[in-house]
């Protein structure tokens, strides 16, 4: 009788512990909500070509500046992060342009400016790199932080390829003035 009683008491507790351990393991290996819609990320490094589904990008230089000027005479003061890059379409040229250009710093995300003559939304040519600059107006208080640059060739990067690059803003000297590269063919 004592043996039967032990079985009826211990067996449910053991089963409970096993089920709880299994539930804990399932929670740890399950992907976060919404991850099925996340883009495919390719990490990029300064000066190295990175490839996503239909485009390739090489970030050639990153500058922090107090004033930006373009080749057509437009200028703006503030705190700016300027990204010089080369980009090309890989498979299809029609409709391919740099439509996603964001900079995430902490919880805040900034889009590339469309003011001035920048590379934002510039058309890409298959296999032939074009060059230019992206400019992000950012608050002065983020210059000591890290940022993530995200570039994509479609307006909605869900289930598409994007290129991301980490930037240490604290390591960048702040220039008084930076001239944006003129959009054109890469050299």
Q: What is the pLDDT of residues 101-151, one digit of tens each?
A: 999 999 999 999 999 899 998 888 898 899 999 999 999 899 889 999 999
Mean per-residue pLDDT of the chain = 87
Q: Is the pLDDT of residue 35 over 70?
A: no
**pLDDT value of position 110:** 96
Q: Which residues pair with 155 in a beta bridge?
A: none
Kindly compute the dihedral angle of the four CA atoms of residues 85, 88, 90, 93, in this order, to the nearest 10 degrees.
140
Count CA within 13 A, CB hemisphere, residue 110: 20
Closest to 59 in 3D by CA, of 163, 184, 139: 163
Q: What is the pLDDT of residue 2?
A: 60
Instruction: Look at residue 28 in the predicted model and tell me its pLDDT.
Output: 81
Residue 52 burial (C-beta neighbours within 10 Å; 0-12, 13-18, 19+): buried
Label residue 6 by pLDDT band (50, 70, 90). low
- Residue 33, pLDDT > 80, answer no
Q: Is the dihedral of CA 150, 58, 40, 52 positive or negative?
A: positive
Distance, CA of 52 to CA of 152 (rounded, Å): 8
């Amino acid at each position: 009788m004592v043996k039967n009683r032990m079985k009826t008491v211990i067996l449910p507790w053991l089963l409970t512990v096993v089920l709880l351990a299994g539930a804990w393991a399932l929670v740890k290996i399950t992907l976060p909500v919404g991850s099925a819609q996340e883009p495919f990320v390719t990490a990029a490094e300064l000066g190295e070509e990175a490839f996503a589904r239909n485009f390739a990008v090489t970030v050639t230089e990153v500058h922090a500046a107090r004033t930006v000027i373009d080749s057509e005479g437009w200028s703006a003061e503030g705190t700016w992060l300027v990204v010089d890059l080369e980009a090309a379409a890989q498979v299809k040229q029609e409709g391919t342009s740099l439509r996603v250009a964001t900079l995430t710093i902490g919880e805040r995300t900034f889009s590339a400016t469309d003011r001035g003559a920048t590379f934002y939304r510039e058309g890409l040519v298959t296999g032939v790199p074009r060059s230019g600059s992206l400019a992000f107006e950012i608050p002065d208080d983020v210059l000591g932080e890290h940022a993530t640059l995200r570039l994509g060739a479609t307006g909605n990067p869900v289930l598409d390829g994007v290129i991301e690059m980490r930037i240490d803003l604290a390591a960048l000297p702040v220039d008084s003035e930076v001239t944006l590269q003129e959009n054109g063919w890469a050299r």
